[in-house]
Amino acid sequence: MFEILKQDQNSRARTGVIKTDHGEIQTPAYVIVGTYASVLCLEPEDLPKTKTQLIIANTYHLWRTLGDKGLVDFPGLHEMMQWQGPLMTDSGGFQVFSLGFLRESGMGYSAAKQKDESEHKSMVRITEAGVYFRPDIENSEELYLDAETSIKIQEQLAADIIVAFDEPTAPIADYEYTKSAMQRTHNWAERSLEAKSSAQKIYGVVQGGVYEDLRKESAKFIGGFPFEGIAIGSTYGDAYGGTKAKTADMLEWTIPNLPEHKPRHLFGVGGIEDVLNGVEAGIDTFDCVIPTREARHARLWTSSGPIDIKKGKFDFDDDVIDEACNCPVCAERQISRSQLRKLFKEKNLEAGRLTTIHNVYFFNDLMEKIREAVNENRFLEFKKEYLAKLSDL
């Protein structure tokens, strides 16, 4: 499934190719988020214009949307999305964290939306066997998800790459809870492998929080099973109480204890500096909502750093988003910054489409430049120069 093409001489950075039934993925690569089996704001014909290689959809949310009956005759994500490139699904494990601890603690993106104490209540009940979800705080009826169910759903969704059921933990979780969650993840990993009956490729998930011994133990345990790839659990954004330093430590503890010949995916990390650090540490693929979510909120990425196109200073700016960008918005249609600002002011849906095309292209193009640098044994030089351009932002 995975072939290493080039190993950097001065770091763990490497290039490779992941082979799937729907095409090859050149790594390091950015995995674009399509939670509900679509990349928000984009039409299927837009995706090939963005250099996108791999899209990840959300198992929990699709299960909730389609229901068990809807999944029975489901034609598969490729047909639903009108996308014939590689696809990946997560396990639903992140929702165990986001609807449980994250909600209860008031951390993360949902915190700003919480209006009263009832919205701080956990919507999950975790057992050793699996997890019970309450889709509505006032609704007593629970939905049950376990390793076997997660794998069955992912088989019905029919992505090329699927993920074993897991339980992420926050950086602020104590040692004992993090250890018990890791042990559940290991148990569920074995059950996920046993439950899989398809030809899909499956990744196991390394957990262990911010604790060195747990991360090393988890890496060795998951790495010892016949998974085709390894995913590394990470809830280390600022929203979750994490830091770049903690992420760096976690990768340093984890990656040396993983098999060299398997692809490594880092969940939920995708800022420019984070990606460069991850590649240096030996990560092959990353998924994150930054390109798409920030595009919808008018934050655009350029070779000189991010800009907020809603600011008044762009009212009469006739420059394109980024003169150095070859995306369809900048190079072909030459949409100006003032035009985009006007579209956002008018709440025109085309604003989100154009900015999403640009941002997705920007991050995929960055990964292409990273691959070139690794292949030419100049990755650390490339990283230093790239970050220097952003240092004053």
The answer on 58 and 34 residing in a single domain is: yes
The last residue of a domain, from among 277, 295, 313: 295
User: What's the CA gap between 118 and 105, in Å, rounded?
Assistant: 12
Residue 382 is predicted with a pLDDT of 97
User: CB–CB of 136/142 below 8 Å?
Assistant: no
Q: For residue range 50-77, what is the model confidence (pLDDT) as tens digits?
A: 999 999 999 999 999 999 999 999 999 9
Q: Are the beta carbons of 74 and 66 closer than 8 angstroms?
A: yes
| Bond prior to 44 in cis (omega within 30° of 0) | no
Q: Among the three residues 260, 295, 330, which one is the final residue of a domain in this structure?
A: 295
Q: Provide the pairing of β-strand 143-146 with 130-133.
A: antiparallel
Domain of 83, CATH number, reads 3.20.20.105
Looking at residue 304, what is its pLDDT?
87
Residues of the chain with pLDDT under 70: 101-102, 104-120, 136-140, 235-242, 391-393
Q: How far is CA 178 from CA 159, 190, 221, 223, 241, in A?
A: 30, 19, 16, 19, 15
Q: How many domains does the chain have?
A: 2
- Which of 275, 295, 315 is a domain's end point? 295
Domain shared by 139 and 151, yes or no: yes
- Whole-angstrom distance, CA of residue 95 vs CA of residue 133: 9
pLDDT of amino acid 273: 93
CA distance 225 to 212: 21
Give backbone dihedrals phi and psi of 138, rounded to 5 degrees, phi first. -85, -10
pLDDT value at position 111?
A: 42
Instruction: Give the pLDDT confidence of 241-271 residue by residue, as tens digits.
Output: 557 788 899 999 999 999 999 999 999 999 9
Query: Edge-to-edge strands of the sheet including 124-126?
Result: 124-126, 130-133, 143-146
| Domain extent at residue 317 | 299-390
Q: What is the pLDDT of residue 106?
A: 61
* pLDDT per residue as tens digits for the range 142-167: 899 999 999 999 999 999 999 999 99
- Calpha distance 62→35 (Å, rounded): 8
Enumerate the active-site residues: 90, 287
Do 267 and 332 sit in the same domain of this protein? no
Task: Please state the separation of Cα 95 from the chain's center in Å.
Answer: 13
For CA atoms 223, 224, 229, 230, give the dihedral sign.
Answer: negative
Residues 172 and 273 in one domain: yes
**Same domain for 170 and 276?**
yes
Q: Does residue 49 share a domain with residue 198?
A: yes
Task: Tell whether 290 and 312 lie within a shared domain.
Answer: no
Within this chain, do residues 41 and 65 fall inside the same structural domain, yes or no?
yes
Q: Are residues 284 and 308 in the same domain?
A: no
Instruction: Report pLDDT for 312.
Output: 93
The reply to whether 216 and 240 lie within a common domain is yes
Same domain, 254 and 384: no
Could you tell me if 274 and 313 lie in one domain? no
**Long-range Cβ pairs for the range 248-251 (8 Å, 24+):** 248/277, 248/281, 249/210, 249/212, 250/208, 250/210, 250/215, 251/277, 251/278, 251/281, 251/282, 251/283
